[in-house]
């Protein structure tokens, strides 16, 4: 089964900053679902099926870069991290 996106879902996807995965809640069950691009889902499936976690490094790094690009507070986090003494 491959239902088509509703106009409301399509609009939410286009408004999502940087292609950020979208969370949707089923009002009947209160179950949350995440909508991601098929190529991202396929990459995650491959990564999660492998035994070596190093395979995930590239995908995780790319995902974090996308997330960091849209984070207006990132510079503050980084400055605070640099000012704390390491243990």
Q: Residue for token digits 């088509």?
A: 4
Domain that holds residue 17: 1-35
Query: What pLDDT is recorded for position 14?
Result: 87
20 touches 70 (CB < 8 A): yes
Residue 10 is assigned to a structural domain of this protein: yes
Q: Read off the tokens for 13.
A: 């996807």
Query: Do 47 and 74 lie in a common domain?
Result: yes
Query: What pLDDT is recorded for position 86?
Result: 63
33 touches 26 (CB < 8 A): yes
Listed as ranges, residues in the chain with pLDDT below 50 are none
Query: What pLDDT is recorded for position 1?
Result: 74
Residue 70 is assigned to a structural domain of this protein: yes
Query: What pLDDT is recorded for position 30?
Result: 94
Query: What pLDDT is recorded for position 76?
Result: 82
Query: What pLDDT is recorded for position 75?
Result: 80
pTM reported for the whole predicted model? 0.49
Query: Do 30 and 50 lie in a common domain?
Result: no
């Amino acid at each position: 089964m491959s239902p088509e996106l509703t106009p409301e879902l399509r609009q939410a996807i286009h408004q999502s900053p940087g292609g950020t995965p979208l969370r949707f809640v089923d009002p009947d069950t209160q179950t949350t679902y995440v909508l991601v691009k098929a190529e991202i889902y396929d990459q995650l499936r491959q990564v999660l099926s492998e035994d070596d976690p190093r395979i995930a490094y590239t995908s995780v790094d790319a995902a974090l870069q996308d997330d960091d690009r849209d984070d207006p507070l990132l510079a503050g986090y980084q400055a605070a991290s640099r000012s704390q003494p390491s243990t």
